[in-house]
Structure 1
Amino acid sequence: MMSSYQEQMQQFSPEKQFYVGIDSDGCAFDTMELKHKECFGPNIINHWNLQPVSKYAREAFEFVNLYSRWRGVNRWPALVKVLDLLRERPEVIKRGAVIPQVDAVRAFIASGAALSNGGLADYMQAHPHQELDQAMQWSKAVNDSIAGMVRGVAPFPFVRDSLQKLTAQADLVVVSATPYADLEREWSEHGIAAYVRLIAGQEMGTKAEVLAATAKDNYTPDHILMIGDAPGDFKAARANNALFLPINPGYEDESWQRFYEEGIQRFLEGSYAGAYEAGLIAEFETILDEVPPWQK
């Protein structure tokens, strides 16, 4: 049965000649460090009983979610990756810490269900498991922490200017793995929700699925641009033959300023694809690492 979120996505239709998808956390908003260090991290330690190796757990989840090529991945695959990195780390093994295998969570991820709390709740009706109860408690605690912690974090400089510059010619859509409630609150708090046609959070599917439903067959490929700060955003764009604008982690202000001052014009006039885009992507691919620092 299609959710109300998915129905909203399926009803989307073009109004302009161009389409721009925009990721939120770490891309439009400087919220990645705050959410992961203050909300996700402490709750991973608490709800998955990682207190005996909290130092290493913190290093693992910060690497996965902030500084690696897994940056921006949905919380459930990120959880699995963090626990896998911990399980094989020598310091953790020496301490005799028991790191959960989370096989039930892996099965949920592989099932094709929406990777959201709603998707997990539906999956649990047919696949009840104590580990999934624990996973739901963790995920709800993360959401509660974010709701209580994240406020007053403005968009990066030149985000608002870029939206204003684009809105006359492009349909703007938020394409994010963040829960819809958080997205709606954050975009509305700063008065930029008015610029977008649709806010698509994790309840609507993966970023690739959102782009496929709203953009792929509705616009010519060189009229579709995905803006993101993570390799997953790039993969979602390419899966739908879309162009990609990287917002470089650690250089977000400069990335948005460059887009505002030259990238938008190139996109709208048709000179973005090719050497210009390739140069931006090459620069982006040097920033995030695949190997954790403790394995070097």
Structure 2
Amino acid sequence: MGREVFESFRPRHERLVCIDSDGCAFDTMEIKHKECFCPAMIKHWGLQPISKYARMAWEFENLYSKDRGLSRFITLYRSIELLKDWDEVREYDFVFPDTEALGRWLREAPAANNAALAGSDDPVLKRTLDWSLESNERISDMVYGIPPFPHVRESIVRLSQDADIIVVSATAREALQREWEENGLLPYVSMICSQDEGSKKECIGLVKDHYGPDCVLMIGDAPGDMRAAYDNGVLFYPIRPGDEISSWKEFKEKYMEMFLNRTYRSGSEAGLIERFDECLPVLPPWKVTH
């Protein structure tokens, strides 16, 4: 759909809540990364001889580190870089696949998505697209019937009475549409912003000016969600990885009304973000010295 969705967007309320999907509203991060993205990476990037390490690198990068929630293309590149720098992996004398063109594309491409890769003659970028497309196929085939985290539905229903709600995610649009629709949540959502519409920062930036100060909140489970909020000068409510149910329960019972009453920034945001920051490490466990 692209950027045209923003041109037709018209607010219905004075407040806006942007909600990330994978790992935030839905418990889909583990199954997507462990059963879809990672097996496709091992297959398409020839990592079979070091598959044990490839899984550990992918899962740390995408689930258990401060890079959690970044674009699949960024974490693909960084996962392979982690493997190159792992002492045990070097013992295998493994010849790594070429990723130079992928790194250059990530630095130079206006958007990191399948459409931006399509039509490239570069074999590295073709491999990247093949991996991404197969990941989508695996997700479509395997990821279904997963409900939102407890307390998410009640929170969205309540928010929709006084705030516009948009989904802001780096996930493919098809998967977002299916997951929100099969759970009956689409009627509460004004717009879905996927990787095809731009980065989370860009998407928030294109809608925030419809609203006043302290009237826009981003709910997310990753540091990238927090940066997207802060770069736009809007509020952030963290869903703590590994503690998602409690995070949503606290939001439903306390912090949602604080946001709606415009007392969230002064009352609680800093303390919640400090707790959130402690959830995810920078270094992988194999780099931590004891």
Q: TM-score, normalised by structure 2?
A: 0.97
Q: Is the 8 A contact 1:36 1:62 kept in 2?
A: yes
Q: Which residue of structure 2 aligns with residue 23 of structure 1?
A: 20
User: What CA distance in whole angstroms lies between the structure 1 residues aligned with 2:96 and 2:213?
Assistant: 45
Q: Which residue of structure 2 aligns with residue 262 of structure 1?
A: 254
Moved more, 63-72 or 111-120: 111-120
User: What CA distance in whole angstroms lies between the structure 1 residues aligned with 2:213 and 2:51?
Assistant: 46
Q: Which residue of structure 1 aligns with residue 160 of structure 2?
A: 167
User: What CA distance in whole angstroms lies between the structure 1 residues aligned with 2:246 and 2:114?
Assistant: 35
Give the alignment partner of residue 143 of structure 1, picking from 127, 136, 149. Answer: 136
Q: Is the 8 A contact 2:68 2:223 kept in 1?
A: yes
Instruction: Map Cα deviations across residues 132-169 of structure 1 (whole Å, 9 max, x no partner).
Output: 11111111110000000101110001111001111011
List aligned pairs for 1:63-82, cutoff 5 A. Answer: 63-82=60-79
User: What CA distance in whole angstroms lies between the structure 2 residues aligned with 1:7 and 1:250?
Assistant: 36
Residue 266 of structure 2 is aligned to residue 274 of structure 1: yes
Give the alignment partner of residue 177 of structure 2, picking from 162, 184, 189. Answer: 184
Residue 146 of structure 2 is aligned to residue 153 of structure 1: yes
Opposite residue 144 of structure 1, the aligned amino acid is: E
Structure 1 alignment gaps of length 5 or more: none
Residue 239 of structure 2 is aligned to residue 242 of structure 1: no
Q: Which residue of structure 2 aligns with residue 46 of structure 1?
A: 43
Q: Is the 8 A contact 2:219 2:236 kept in 1?
A: yes
Opposite residue 203 of structure 1, the aligned amino acid is: D
Opposite residue 193 of structure 2, the aligned amino acid is: A
Q: Is the 8 A contact 2:98 2:124 kept in 1?
A: no
Give the alignment partner of residue 188 of structure 2, picking from 189, 195, 203. Answer: 195
Q: Is the 8 A contact 1:114 1:120 kept in 2?
A: no
User: What CA distance in whole angstroms lies between the structure 2 residues aligned with 1:7 and 1:157?
Assistant: 34
User: What CA distance in whole angstroms lies between the structure 1 residues aligned with 2:4 and 2:102?
Assistant: 27
Q: Is the 8 A contact 1:221 1:243 kept in 2?
A: no
Residue 123 of structure 2 is aligned to residue 130 of structure 1: yes
User: What CA distance in whole angstroms lies between the structure 2 residues aligned with 1:238 and 1:221?
Assistant: 13
Q: Is the 8 A contact 1:83 1:101 kept in 2?
A: no
Q: Is the 8 A contact 1:10 1:214 kept in 2?
A: no
Tell me how large the CA RMSD over aligned residues is: 1.0
Residue aligned with 1:177, SS: coil
Q: Is the 8 A contact 2:220 2:237 kept in 1?
A: yes
* Corresponding pairs, count: 288
Q: Percent identity?
A: 45
Q: Which residue of structure 2 aligns with residue 284 of structure 1?
A: 276
Q: TM-score, normalised by structure 1?
A: 0.95
User: What CA distance in whole angstroms lies between the structure 2 residues aligned with 1:112 and 1:254?
Assistant: 39
Residue aligned with 1:21, SS: strand
Once the 2 structures are TM-superposed, how far is the Cα of residue 112 of structure 1 from its aligned partner? Answer: 3.4
Q: Is the 8 A contact 2:173 2:196 kept in 1?
A: yes
